Structure 1
Amino acid sequence: MKTVMVTGPGQTAIVEVPRPEIGPADVLVRMRASGICGSDSLYISVGGIPPRQGATPLGHEPAGEIAEVGADVTGLTVGDHVVLNPMAAEDGIIGSGGAQGGLSEYVLIRGAQIGKHLLTVPDHIPFEVAALNEPMAVATHAVNRLEPKPGQKAVVFGAGPIGLGAAIGLKLRGAAHVTVVDVVPNRLAKALKVGADAVIDSSQEDVATRLLELHGEAPRYFGRHGKPATDLYLDAAGATAVIDTILATAKHGARLSIVAVHKKPVSVDFGPLLTSELTIALAMGYPTEIFEVTKDLIEHWEKYALIISDVLPYDQVEKALTLAATPGAADKVVVTIP
């Protein structure tokens, strides 16, 4: 079968590898779509992930259909459409240092258990949308770290796939008002399409001033005044200026979830921040959310589908990887596999 691998620093190729053979407790999944993540570009740039450096299979946002079912497996049948939990695979994280990648014709799930390794989705959900399950689980974990309550006001910085997924998740959990901040006009337009109540172009508007207009002013607390009544902040942008803005505007008792990867150190002066009693939570992966988000994805798949900017066929996977790695060229790129 074919699989996409990192073959060296800055190099990828479609290579031929043996098709996996299933055991009695296993399921063989024919891959039908896999999204491309920013981390894929990192793996490519450094030449893979040890111990498979130079031979790292790619694709950790997989969706497919069951091709073979082991004799001892129950509850699954050939033809079922499924999403996978890349982190649960016995041979390492799928597409992130494990022995298998979602940008393959087949993936073997050893000791397959429904709700741990995979979950079925209705046939009417397009495979490219089902492939959003993994990144939307990341977004959902970021939202869960905020411990949102119905009626709260929130702001999401960064209108990429994770930020848009977080905006959808916040609205589904009852947020009264969700504002999305970015500097790219088409991303801000997409944020409104997926359900954000308002957007702010931070290259053109002062975020704090605009949030005061949108969310109102929070009550004075220990000398803190003039702060927006924003309850929840979510950083899906990873820019130092975002953190600076949040720390300067946070009202007393606000919560901040950071899901973005910050590539530069961020300096924080905790002195003036003390009276805010701001709760800062970091969000990594999806400890419990990989299949929690599936229900939302199924019920609102047409809204989630708007996050996808480009769908390319498997024979154009090199183009897809380049497109996804080019700043500003695309948002969410998904590769479909025949």
Structure 2
Amino acid sequence: MRAVVMQDRKVRLAELPEPVPCEGEVLVEVLACGICGSDLHCAQHGAEFNASLRTAFGVDVLDLDRPIVFGHEFVGRVLEHGPGTSGRVPLGARVVSVPSLTRPGQPFLGFAGPETPGGFAERMVLAESLLLQVPEHVPTEHAALTEPLAVAEHAVNRAGLRPGDVPLVVGCGPIGLAIIAVLRMRCDGPIVAADFSPERRLLARSLGADVVVDPARDSPYEAWSKALGVSGSGVEGQAQVPAAVAFECVGVPGMIQELVLGCPPGGRIVVAGLCMRPDTFEPAQALVKEIDLRFAYLYTAEEFAQALAYLTDGAGMVAPLVTRTIGLADVPEAFDTLSDSPQDAKVLIVPGLPGDTAK
């Protein structure tokens, strides 16, 4: 089968052996798979990503000595029931899944080798016990957004969202936009969003942001303070503002400190942007403001199921997130351009796209 592999920081189209389902697994045809910012980061900073996880958990996620088949935001069609499966999901059904297998070692799909490829391939194997069937009325390109919506749902849950909260989303890339979509479903207060890209600001508005700011012209923190009904972000003479909740979705050094400075006392900051370089901030400033600083990574199985439920209940709500579809052959070029693309949000790979050309 055809697949896109990454090795030595290079992404290329390759021919791989067909994956074989083990006990309790099914073979699926990949219908669509999103390119995630973490795919781009790991292609360029795989060693640093491994070093971070090794320090935190004592393991390397990426085997950088072998080809890696990215793709953890997928939707597929069941082709074959493997040994020891019940057949509870019929052949031909569309499915999504938490990107993990239950076999020994529990490979994390999208970060493993050719034997357990991710969704940047024509076919892949999935654990039957983790499959969620996609309802017929949910378009395939929307079902492929289940995983990034689960990331957003987890970030919003990490914020401990309460009635009356006024969120600020800094950075309107795919995760920031997904967070805006989830906030619109769960938040009754105004949503403030900020991004330098005019295209992404339009996407933020279309997904539910009430106030959209160009940081090159105006301060997102002043707009946030106005929405909160407070006079600024200083400490002196200002009461706590527990309704202030910010989401950092940029992932570059300096953003945490900027948010600490801009956040009103008593607010919460959730860091969802993946920064692969060392960073610093001034704890004393967060301390005197009594700011809660939280970090969000991945999601639970329940949050993944909730993301599919959002799509089931309102299948068209996230349509603006998908800005482009490409074929497998177009992926290497996309990796070269996406990091600097101000107009793209979620780019979907469709392995069966005729001619493997972008549309």
Same fold flag (TM > 0.5): yes
What amino acid is aligned across from residue 121 of structure 2 in structure 1?
Answer: S
Residue in structure 1 matched with residue 119 of structure 2 by the alignment: 102
Residue in structure 1 matched with residue 314 of structure 2 by the alignment: 300
Q: Distance in 2 between matches of 1:62 and 1:89?
A: 18
Is the aligned partner of 1:273 residue 2:286? yes
The SS at the match of 2:28 is strand
TM-score by length of 2: 0.83
Instruction: Give the conservation status (yes or no) of the 8 Å contact 1:128–1:334.
Output: yes
Instruction: Give the conservation status (yes or no) of the 8 Å contact 1:47–1:53.
Output: no
Aligned with residue 135 of structure 2, among 102, 122, 135: 122
Q: Structure 1 residues 262, 169: CA separation in 2 closer, same or farther (over 3 Å shift)? A: same
Identity %: 26
Shift of 1:46: 5.7
Residue in structure 1 matched with residue 40 of structure 2 by the alignment: 41
Shift of 1:260: 0.6
Is the aligned partner of 1:173 residue 2:172? no
Shift of 1:251: 2.6
Instruction: Give the conservation status (yes or no) of the 8 Å contact 1:10–1:44.
Output: yes
1:265-305 Cα deviation digits (max 9, x unpaired): 44333334323221111111113422221111222332212
Q: Distance in 2 between matches of 1:146 and 1:232?
A: 7
Q: Distance in 2 between matches of 1:95 and 1:17?
A: 15
TM-score by length of 1: 0.88
Q: Distance in 2 between matches of 1:73 and 1:66?
A: 13
Q: Structure 1 residues 267, 336: CA separation in 2 closer, same or farther (over 3 Å shift)? A: same
Q: Distance in 1 between matches of 2:22 and 2:242?
A: 57
Q: Distance in 2 between matches of 1:328 and 1:79?
A: 37
Residue in structure 2 matched with residue 53 of structure 1 by the alignment: 65
Q: How many matched pairs?
A: 333
What amino acid is aligned across from residue 59 of structure 1 in structure 2?
Answer: G
Is the aligned partner of 1:190 residue 2:190? no
Q: Structure 1 residues 265, 42: CA separation in 2 closer, same or farther (over 3 Å shift)? A: closer
Pairing of 1:256-267 with structure 2 (within 5 A) = 256-267=269-280
Q: Distance in 2 between matches of 1:23 and 1:39?
A: 28
Aligned with residue 87 of structure 1, among 87, 91, 100: 100
Query: Structure 1 stretch 223-232 or stretch 317-326: which is displaced more?
Result: 223-232
Aligned with residue 166 of structure 2, among 143, 153, 172: 153
Is the aligned partner of 1:68 residue 2:80? yes
Instruction: Give the conservation status (yes or no) of the 8 Å contact 2:272–2:297.
Output: yes
Residue in structure 1 matched with residue 338 of structure 2 by the alignment: 324
What amino acid is aligned across from residue 295 of structure 2 in structure 1?
Answer: L
The SS at the match of 2:168 is strand
Shift of 1:108: 1.3
The SS at the match of 1:302 is coil
Q: Structure 1 residues 82, 30: CA separation in 2 closer, same or farther (over 3 Å shift)? A: same
1:91-118 Cα deviation digits (max 9, x unpaired): 51111135321111111124x21xxx22
Gap regions ≥5 residues in structure 1: none
Q: Distance in 2 between matches of 1:240 and 1:163?
A: 17
Q: Distance in 2 between matches of 1:47 and 1:171?
A: 34
Q: Distance in 2 between matches of 1:273 and 1:312?
A: 44
Superposition CA RMSD, Å:
2.7
Residue in structure 2 matched with residue 204 of structure 1 by the alignment: 217
